[in-house]
Protein backbone atom coordinates (compact mmCIF):
# COMPACT_ATOMS: atom_id res chain seq x y z
CA UNK A 1 0.00 0.00 0.00
CA UNK A 2 1.36 3.43 -0.94
CA UNK A 3 0.22 7.01 -0.45
CA UNK A 4 -0.22 9.61 -3.20
CA UNK A 5 3.50 10.44 -3.13
CA UNK A 6 4.44 6.76 -3.55
CA UNK A 7 5.60 6.25 0.05
CA UNK A 8 5.06 2.75 1.41
CA UNK A 9 2.42 2.60 4.15
CA UNK A 10 1.87 -0.15 6.68
CA UNK A 11 -1.77 -0.98 7.31
CA UNK A 12 -3.03 -2.33 10.60
CA UNK A 13 -6.33 -3.98 11.41
CA UNK A 14 -9.32 -2.62 13.32
CA UNK A 15 -12.11 -4.01 15.49
CA UNK A 16 -15.09 -3.15 13.28
CA UNK A 17 -17.16 -5.94 11.73
CA UNK A 18 -19.44 -5.99 8.69
CA UNK A 19 -22.54 -8.21 8.73
CA UNK A 20 -23.31 -10.40 5.71
CA UNK A 21 -26.20 -8.07 4.76
CA UNK A 22 -23.84 -5.07 4.80
CA UNK A 23 -21.26 -6.97 2.73
CA UNK A 24 -23.90 -7.84 0.13
CA UNK A 25 -25.16 -4.25 -0.12
CA UNK A 26 -21.63 -2.81 -0.30
CA UNK A 27 -20.81 -5.21 -3.15
CA UNK A 28 -23.89 -4.06 -5.06
CA UNK A 29 -23.03 -0.39 -4.57
CA UNK A 30 -19.38 -0.87 -5.55
CA UNK A 31 -20.43 -2.82 -8.67
CA UNK A 32 -22.69 0.10 -9.69
CA UNK A 33 -19.64 2.37 -9.64
CA UNK A 34 -17.87 -0.03 -12.04
CA UNK A 35 -14.61 0.26 -10.11
CA UNK A 36 -12.68 -2.44 -8.33
CA UNK A 37 -10.48 -0.12 -6.25
CA UNK A 38 -13.15 1.19 -3.89
CA UNK A 39 -13.24 0.49 -0.16
CA UNK A 40 -15.84 1.34 2.46
CA UNK A 41 -14.34 4.07 4.65
CA UNK A 42 -15.84 4.81 8.08
CA UNK A 43 -14.82 8.03 9.83
CA UNK A 44 -15.73 9.64 13.15
CA UNK A 45 -15.89 13.45 12.96
CA UNK A 46 -16.63 16.14 15.49
CA UNK A 47 -20.14 17.50 15.11
CA UNK A 48 -23.74 16.44 15.24
CA UNK A 49 -26.08 17.06 18.13
CA UNK A 50 -24.30 14.61 20.47
CA UNK A 51 -20.66 15.57 19.87
CA UNK A 52 -19.47 13.13 17.18
CA UNK A 53 -20.95 11.89 13.95
CA UNK A 54 -20.25 9.06 11.54
CA UNK A 55 -19.27 9.55 7.93
CA UNK A 56 -19.26 6.54 5.60
CA UNK A 57 -18.30 6.58 1.93
CA UNK A 58 -16.46 4.66 -0.75
CA UNK A 59 -12.84 5.67 -1.17
CA UNK A 60 -9.84 4.51 -3.17
CA UNK A 61 -7.18 6.38 -1.19
CA UNK A 62 -4.54 4.92 1.09
CA UNK A 63 -3.63 7.16 4.02
CA UNK A 64 -0.97 6.81 6.67
CA UNK A 65 -2.33 5.00 9.70
CA UNK A 66 -5.30 3.41 7.93
CA UNK A 67 -6.57 0.19 9.47
CA UNK A 68 -8.09 -2.23 6.95
CA UNK A 69 -10.08 -5.46 7.28
CA UNK A 70 -11.63 -7.36 4.35
CA UNK A 71 -15.02 -9.04 4.62
CA UNK A 72 -15.69 -11.40 1.71
CA UNK A 73 -14.03 -9.01 -0.76
CA UNK A 74 -15.25 -5.74 0.78
CA UNK A 75 -12.50 -3.79 2.52
CA UNK A 76 -13.48 -1.59 5.48
CA UNK A 77 -10.99 1.22 6.12
CA UNK A 78 -10.77 3.30 9.29
CA UNK A 79 -8.30 6.10 9.91
CA UNK A 80 -6.09 6.06 13.00
CA UNK A 81 -8.01 8.85 14.77
CA UNK A 82 -11.40 7.13 14.33
CA UNK A 83 -10.29 3.59 15.23
CA UNK A 84 -10.47 3.97 19.05
CA UNK A 85 -14.05 5.31 18.85
CA UNK A 86 -15.14 2.36 16.68
CA UNK A 87 -13.43 -0.63 18.27
CA UNK A 88 -16.02 -3.39 18.63
CA UNK A 89 -18.60 -1.66 16.40
CA UNK A 90 -20.54 -3.52 13.73
CA UNK A 91 -22.04 -2.26 10.49
CA UNK A 92 -25.30 -3.79 9.30
CA UNK A 93 -27.61 -3.03 6.39
CA UNK A 94 -31.36 -2.88 6.89
CA UNK A 95 -34.10 -2.53 4.31
CA UNK A 96 -37.41 -2.57 6.18
CA UNK A 97 -40.45 -0.34 6.49
CA UNK A 98 -38.87 1.31 9.53
CA UNK A 99 -35.29 1.75 8.30
CA UNK A 100 -33.28 1.56 5.14
CA UNK A 101 -29.54 1.94 4.99
CA UNK A 102 -26.34 1.09 6.79
CA UNK A 103 -26.69 0.99 10.57
CA UNK A 104 -23.74 1.31 12.97
CA UNK A 105 -23.96 -0.48 16.30
CA UNK A 106 -21.20 1.07 18.39
CA UNK A 107 -20.70 -0.18 21.98
CA UNK A 108 -18.42 2.83 22.65
CA UNK A 109 -21.26 5.32 22.18
CA UNK A 110 -22.70 6.26 25.56
CA UNK A 111 -25.50 8.40 24.07
CA UNK A 112 -26.85 9.05 20.61
CA UNK A 113 -29.33 11.49 19.19
CA UNK A 114 -32.71 10.60 17.74
CA UNK A 115 -31.41 10.62 14.17
CA UNK A 116 -28.85 7.92 15.02
CA UNK A 117 -26.04 9.69 13.13
CA UNK A 118 -24.54 11.42 16.14
CA UNK A 119 -23.10 10.03 19.39
CA UNK A 120 -20.82 10.71 22.34
pLDDT, tens digit (0-9, with 9 covering 90-100), for 51-75: 788 899 999 998 888 999 999 999 9
Quote the pLDDT of residue 22: 95
Quote the pLDDT of residue 2: 47
pLDDT, tens digit (0-9, with 9 covering 90-100), for 103-117: 999 888 765 555 555
Among 3.20.20.370, 3.30.300.30, 2.40.10.10, 2.60.300.12, name the CATH number for the domain at 17-112: 2.60.300.12
Angle at 102 between CA 100 and CA 103, to 5 degrees: 100
Quote the pLDDT of residue 78: 94
pTM, whole model, 2 decimals? 0.77
Amino acid sequence: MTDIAGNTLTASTHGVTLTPAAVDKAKVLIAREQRDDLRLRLVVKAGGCSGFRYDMYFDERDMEGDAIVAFDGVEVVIDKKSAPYLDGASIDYEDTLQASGFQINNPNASNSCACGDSFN
